[in-house]
Structures are given as C-alpha cells and as structure tokens.
Amino acid sequence: MVFLSLSCWIRSRGPDRYWKVQEVLKHARHFRGRKNRCYSLAVRAVRRALVYATKSRKLKKRNMRTLWITRIAAASREHGMKYPTLCLSVQLNRRVICDLAVTEPRSFLSLAKLARARQQEGFRAALGDGKEPSGVLSRVVLLQ
Amino acid sequence: MTARGSQSRFLQSVLRNGVGRYVCQLKRISIIFSKKAQGSLGVREFIEEGVVDYAKKNPSTVVYVSPQTSRIPKIVAEYLNGNVREEIVTNKTSPQILELLTKLTNQSGLEIVRIRKPFHTDSPSIQGQWNPFTNRPPSIGPIRPQKQDSP
C-alpha cells in the first residue's frame, strides 16, 4: 500500500507572512515595551504613531509660532515693553524677530527703542492737540 | 514615516564644494543590463547612443557597462563620501535614462532624508548670544587696583 494523497493534504497557507510582519515591526523598533516585539501590539502602536504624525504637522506650525511669541514677549519685557507694542511696529515675521532676540541682542534693543518711539507717537496723536511736536515740520501741516 | 522613526540630517555641503572649485561628487557609475531581455531595451539604446557622450562630458566619473544575463537593469552610482545609490531602470526609454544620469551627477552623495532646517550657519550669533546677564547692568563697578592709604 502506498499513501499517495497524503502529500496533497499539506498546504502552504501563504509564504510571505514573515515579511509582512517585518514591514510593520520595522516602524515599531524604537518603541518601549512589548510593542516593539509583538505583532498584535505593534500594529496598534504603529497605526497610532502614524496618525499622530499626520495630525502633528499642523500642530508643529502652531507650537513653533507660540514659542516664538513667548520668546519675543520675554525679550521685549526685558526692555520694559510688551509684545503687542513690538509686533505692531516691526514688519518682520515672528521667527526672524525671535532669532534676532536670541542671537543679536543689541539689534533687538534698537528694535525695542523704535517700537517705543512709535508708541509715544501714537499716544501723542491720540491724546494730544493734533499739532505737530515742536521742532518737526511736515508738508501736511503747511498745506492746511 | 514618523520624525523619530525615520532618519534626518542637517543641511550641509560636502567640504564647502563650490566655494572654490566645484568637484563632481559622483565617483563611479555601473550600468547593469541584460543583452536579450525586454526591460533592458532602453538601456541598450542608451548604451548605443548616449553613454560615450555622457562619459566624455563627465571626465571625473568612471562609467562601467556590464552586461549580465537574467538581471534586472540597474544603475549603481557611488559617491565620493561612500554612499551607494541603486536605481532600477526597467522599461525606461533612453532619454529618461539620460535624465536620470544627469540627476545623479548633480547630486552630492549625502543621503536623501528629511532635512531638519533649510538653513545652516557656522556663526549664528555676531553680537553674542543672549545670556541672562546680557541686559543687566553690572552689579560691581569697573575693577581698579586697590587704593593703598600708606604712601
């Protein structure tokens, strides 16, 4: 008697499982705990990681902007003024002003003085008589 | 995919290439193709027409042409800093392969990964970086030699 159909009952369920699993695990290698070794835990962790990555592309821009604003506010308070005063006078973007405040403190000081002068001008225009300050001549006043 | 999960590098140039003389960073190009397969048709055309002109235009790059049966047509580019880049060129036309080669020639050998900042300075601060004592008046006056009462 020869058993010929025995070998037909052995089936290969799919030869690629190892590589499909490794594709997921390679993104999980730097995780903590069993998530970096066990496939079922890793699948969930990798999916969350990728979702966080997509969401945080917008968040990064927001966070960087708030960081710059915090730093500019701190630097301007060192010179005795506040962030809105500085930002209205200086027509530069926040990233550049923040870099100036960190790496070029004296340039930032001159920017702060400029903003202070603008602020004083604004106060005088709002609260004063409507006349030019003494020693200043301008065509607008002469034409009227 | 994620920032921590994939590699990243800072913007850099290879040894300030271009400030003085420009050195082409491509060291070696090996074109592997097959003499009879269909996918290597474009590569074979390119080798008939364009390879010699390309090699004459770039005298600092060594071009190896190796026909190997039953291999996928590939272009292997090696750079001066040791990086190796392989590009598969099955079913590409001859002008497409020329375009690819010019792209590889113009690249420096640095890896193509996320660049953290699109700028780089060796001297970021000229007036001196801010420290907590920058805008503070000094607490002691200028240091002078001690006054001695006894003559």
Every domain of chain A and the residues it spans? 16-126
> Domain A16-126 belongs to what topology?
c-terminal domain of poly(a) binding protein (1.10.1900)
Q: Which of B2, B125, B130 sits opposite A49 (nearest CB)?
A: B2
**pLDDT surpassing 60 at residue A141:** no
**Cβ–Cβ below 8 Å for B130 and A75:** yes
Distance CA B23, CA B4 (A): 34
pTM exceeds 0.90 for this model? no
Q: Which of A30, A79, A102 sits opposite B130 (nearest CB)?
A: A102
User: What is the CATH number assigned to the segment(s) B23-111?
Assistant: 3.40.30.10
The runs of H, that is alpha helices, within A28-91 are: 39-78, 83-89
Say how many C-beta atoms besides its own lie within 10 A of residue A2's C-beta: 5
B126: which chain A residues are within 8 Å (Cβ-Cβ)?
A: 103-104
Judge if ipTM > 0.85.
Answer: no
Distance CA B70, CA B68 (A): 7
Sign of the CA dihedral B104, B105, B107, B111? positive
Name the region of B46 (left: φ>0; alpha: ψ -120 to 50; beta: rest): alpha
Residue A140 or residue A110, greater confidence: A110
Distance CA B104, CA B109 (A): 9
* Per-residue tens of pLDDT for chain B, all 151 residues: 899 999 999 999 999 998 999 999 999 999 999 999 999 999 999 999 999 999 999 999 999 999 999 999 999 999 999 999 999 999 999 999 999 999 999 999 999 999 999 999 999 999 999 999 999 988 888 888 888 876 6
Distance CA B74, CA B32 (A): 5
Q: Please write down the HEC assignment for all residues of B28-54.
A: EEEEEECCCCCCCHHHHHHHHHCHHHH
User: How does pLDDT run across A13-31, given as a tens digit for each residue?
Assistant: 899 999 999 999 999 999 9
Q: Which of A120, A126, A121, A116 is nearest to A138 (CA)?
A: A121
Residue B57, token pair as written in the block: 């235009």
Contact call for residues B38 and B116 (beta carbons, < 8 A): no
B5: which chain A residues are within 8 Å (Cβ-Cβ)?
A: 27, 30, 49
Contact call for residues A53 and B31 (beta carbons, < 8 A): no
**pLDDT surpassing 90 at residue A132:** no
Q: How confident is the model at residue A143 (pLDDT cuts 50, 70, 90)?
A: low
- Residues 6 or more apart whose Cβ sits within 8 Å of residue B55: B61, B63
pLDDT the model gives residue B104: 96
Shortest Cα distance, chain B CAs vs residue A46, angstroms: 10
Among A31, A100, A103, A111, pick the best mutation site for testing chain B contact (most B Cβ within 10 A). Answer: A103
**Containing H/E element for B27?**
strand B26-33
**Cβ–Cβ below 8 Å for A103 and B124:** yes
DSSP codes, B50-119: THHHHHHH-TTSEEEEEE-TT---EEEEEETTS-EEEEE-TT--HHHHHHHHHHHHHS-SS--SEES-S-
- Residues 6 or more apart whose Cβ sits within 8 Å of residue A110: none
Residue A129, token pair as written in the block: 């008589």
Residue B147, token pair as written in the block: 């006054």
**Cβ–Cβ below 8 Å for A103 and B5:** no
A30: which chain B residues are within 8 Å (Cβ-Cβ)?
A: 4-5
Distance CA B74, CA B81 (A): 21
